Structure 1
Amino acid sequence: MSRTNPHNSSQDRELSRRGLLKTAGGLTAALAVGASASAVAGGTASAAPATFVHPGALHAYGELNRAKVRVAAGNDPWLSGWNRLTANGHSASTWNPNPQATIIRGGTGENYGTLYNDIHAAYQNALRWHVAGTTANGDAAVRILNAWSATLTTVTGNADRFLAAGIYGYQFANAAELMRGYSGFNLDRFKTMMLNVFYPLNNQFLNGHNDACITNYWANWDLCNMNSILAIAILCDDGAKYDQAVNYFKNGAGNGSITHAVPFIYDNVDGYALGQWQESGRDQGHTMMGMGQMGAFCEMAWSQGDDLYGYDANRFMKGAQYVAKYNLGQSVPFTTYTWGTGQNCAQQSHTAISSASRGQVRPVWDILYYHYAKRRGLSVPYIQAMAESVRPEGGGGDYGSASGGYDQLGFGTLMYAK
């Protein structure tokens, strides 16, 4: 299959050889399988590959191998990203997990910090094992993953339980995907935990939105649950769940679907097309969180041969350019954004972009710069400037102890530097 901008990574060539690389429309492919999808409004179509690529979530073989080669050669900026990883205490092979049977986010008895710290420790140790081959780090990652799959039975709390199920579900599944096949890793038990503890909440949220108006929740709430379903689908080789997540991205009625997350397009602003992000009138911290959430979703799909980055004429790219331009201190247009809240869809509006937390640093930009500029050869000056301004990107533990510092797995400079 060909594209307007051919890709040049070893991963792309492998996907193309196997007939798995799909066009930006992404609705059909030579190796697609039929599967029902739920939680969507509008048409659905099969997108899941007949055979899933592994490792095939945030990091496929091409990205992992590039990081390994570049770090071994001492090349920057990959080496700077590696040094950021090894300096993070979560990546230490001596990390001891603290698994809980019940995780609570929201309400009385919150303890979810225990979960996200252990997840990031598992992920960071997994990266160190892949890049440097250090058995102690691989053993540590597996020790953490096995401890939680043997213990966790419930994620609960107030409405925030859906955030926990989404954010930590997709992060957990990604850490496990990296350790697939490692000696001693109980993958089957881990899959059972993901399917029984995380997926039901993800599915419940996308279908029911906590019994609220469909637009009540911000884009990030949908996106993290979409991410969890997609990551679980990849981990478990589940075509139906894969289709559920991808179809929601394309057709979902909630704010995480692409046309709701980027509701307004401006065709020419200083020579570039921009897209207003759904949370831009709220604050910039959550807006940039959205860049990380949608970027993760698109990258996971890309690993399986679906180009959602380019879906609907690069709609996400236009949104990321918009967010980057504003957070670089430049002006952007804004269209009044109106939505329904609560159970009765009471109308509220944002009439201006919010300057709250403008310029906040989050490790979400190198992955976007790598895709659009390196893979696709497109001019994305605002994304580029943001990526360069926050490099080298760290991960959980590098951006404060609050949960917001753990909303993204990070280390984009190591894994995706151009």
Structure 2
Amino acid sequence: MLQASRYADANYQPNAVPQVVRGNPSWGKDNYAVLFRDAAAAYQLAIRWKISGDSAYADASIKVLDDWSNKLTNIIGTSDKYLASGIYGYQLANAAEIMRSYPKWTGFPRFKDTMLNVFYPMNHEFITRHNGYGEAGLHYWANWDLANLASMMAIGILTDRHDIYQEALTYVKSGPGNGAFRNAMWHVYTDSGLAQVQESGRDQGHSTLDIALIGVLCQMAWNQGDDLFGFDNNLVLKASEYVAKYNLGYDVPWTYYTTSDGTVQTEISSASRGSTRPIWTLIYNHYNRVNGLEAKYTKEMMDKFGPEGGAYGANSGGFDQLGYGSLLFNSDVK
């Protein structure tokens, strides 16, 4: 799948722009697609280099990263600009984390500056102010916080800024917004080992996005020696099982959820039920292969959709996660 991807071709040409627009044509024409496609390419090319050792892929990956660090100055739009700063921020930082060991990458310092000066300030601004709704920011669904926390954590790791990394980690564990794990996965059913997700009453496309971003946060923290997978008695596993089970067509328990505007969600949403995202292997690998825990529905979802690639479709939702979990997370190494 990786070899066949157009984004893993050593001849890939980047399309960086000085200003990324997401959310409102009145601010300028939406152009954020060039960023999510290039982020996918930088990551896939980096993986292909690590596997093959062929420097052509390394050169292609850093060409993408350098193009953006040379040109990008800001990200604008409606509040949707914070989705761009979060999702594409964590993706670019993860690609760069792979490429930092490439000795020919002389542009690495400049790239780190871009992440610190363009992406991180937006991540911090959103998490602390929530676009004017305050620190708690319960107006915004969980995925908004989770995306910006993922970017913040990835940037902290990439730039060796422990303060930034710790800012994200602390918020995940005890923050007031919907991205804090106990708010994102807010109701545990102790009898069934499931946890209801904050966006389950909205639609399943966003519920699965929550699981995708939670998995990214857990894996990055794990690589730094912090165990978010085990947080609050394996809360993430319970949420993964809940979302996977429902999207496989099974019934799950439901508890009424009241949104920040007072709307009472009386039932789980069937909208986008069965959503496909390449996210399940990362979670299954850790809980089952590393920790030896059962993850029945996560495994069933993983098996149903087969080997995980990346770039599922042409729209932004298909690029919200980097993918290739079947290739990258398939071992019992602790």
Q: Given the two structures, how large is their TM-score scaled by the length of structure 1?
A: 0.77
Range 287-296 or range 177-186, more displaced: 177-186
TM-fit CA distance, 1:134: 1.4
Query: Given the alignment of the two structures, is residue 332 of structure 1 paired with residue 259 of structure 2, yes or no?
Result: no
TM-fit CA distance, 1:417: 2.7
CA distance in 2 between partners of 1:336 and 1:211 (Å): 27
- In the other structure, the counterpart of 1:160 is 80
- In the other structure, the counterpart of 2:119 is 198
CA distance in 2 between partners of 1:183 and 1:100 (Å): 26
Q: Which amino acid aligns with 2:12?
A: W
- In the other structure, the counterpart of 2:297 is 382
TM-fit CA distance, 1:347: 1.3
Q: Which amino acid aligns with 1:85?
A: L
Q: Which runs of 5+ in 1 are unaligned?
A: 1-83, 341-345
Is the 1:142–1:184 contact (alpha carbons within 8 Å) kept by the matching residues of 2?
A: no
Q: Of residues 326, 334, 350 in structure 1, which corresponds to 2:265?
A: 350
Q: Which amino acid aligns with 1:225?
A: N
CA distance in 1 between partners of 2:280 and 2:154 (Å): 20
Q: Which amino acid aligns with 1:132?
A: S
Aligned pairs (5 A) from 1:156-305: 156-185=76-105, 186-212=107-133, 214-269=137-192, 273-305=193-225
Q: Of residues 208, 225, 228 in structure 2, which corresponds to 1:308?
A: 228
TM-fit CA distance, 1:98: 1.1
Deviations 1:218-270, CA, capped at 9 Å, x for gaps: 1100000000000000000011111100000011111010110111110112x
Tell me how many residue pairs correspond in the alignment.
Answer: 325
Aligned pairs (5 A) from 1:128-167: 128-167=48-87
Q: Which amino acid aligns with 1:308?
A: L
Q: Given the two structures, how large is their TM-score scaled by the length of structure 2?
A: 0.96
Deviations 1:91-148, CA, capped at 9 Å, x for gaps: 0000011110000011111100011111111110000000111111111001111111
Among all aligned residue pairs of Structure 1 and Structure 2, give the percentage whose two residues are the same amino acid.
Answer: 47
CA distance in 2 between partners of 1:217 and 1:349 (Å): 16
Q: Which runs of 5+ in 2 are unaligned?
A: none
Q: Which runs of 4+ in 1 moved over 4 A?
A: none
Q: Of residues 278, 281, 285 in structure 2, which corresponds to 1:370?
A: 285
Deviations 1:183-230, CA, capped at 9 Å, x for gaps: 332111000000000001100000011112621111100000000000
Q: Which has the larger radius of gyration?
A: 1
- In the other structure, the counterpart of 1:403 is 316
In terms of fraction of residues, the more helix-rich structure is 2
Q: Of residues 68, 72, 94 in structure 1, which corresponds to 2:11?
A: 94
CA distance in 1 between partners of 2:259 and 2:176 (Å): 13
TM-fit CA distance, 1:87: 0.8
Deviations 1:285-304, CA, capped at 9 Å, x for gaps: 11011111000000000000
- In the other structure, the counterpart of 2:330 is 417
Q: Which amino acid aligns with 1:372?
A: Y
CA distance in 2 between partners of 1:258 and 1:233 (Å): 19
- In the other structure, the counterpart of 1:116 is 36
TM-fit CA distance, 1:155: 0.7
Q: Which amino acid aligns with 2:113?
A: T
CA distance in 2 between partners of 1:106 and 1:413 (Å): 33
Q: Which amino acid aligns with 2:178?
A: N
CA distance in 2 between partners of 1:101 and 1:258 (Å): 34
CA distance in 2 between partners of 1:288 and 1:370 (Å): 17
Q: Which amino acid aligns with 2:153?
A: L
CA distance in 2 between partners of 1:178 and 1:402 (Å): 25
Q: Of residues 266, 275, 287 in structure 2, which corresponds to 1:360?
A: 275
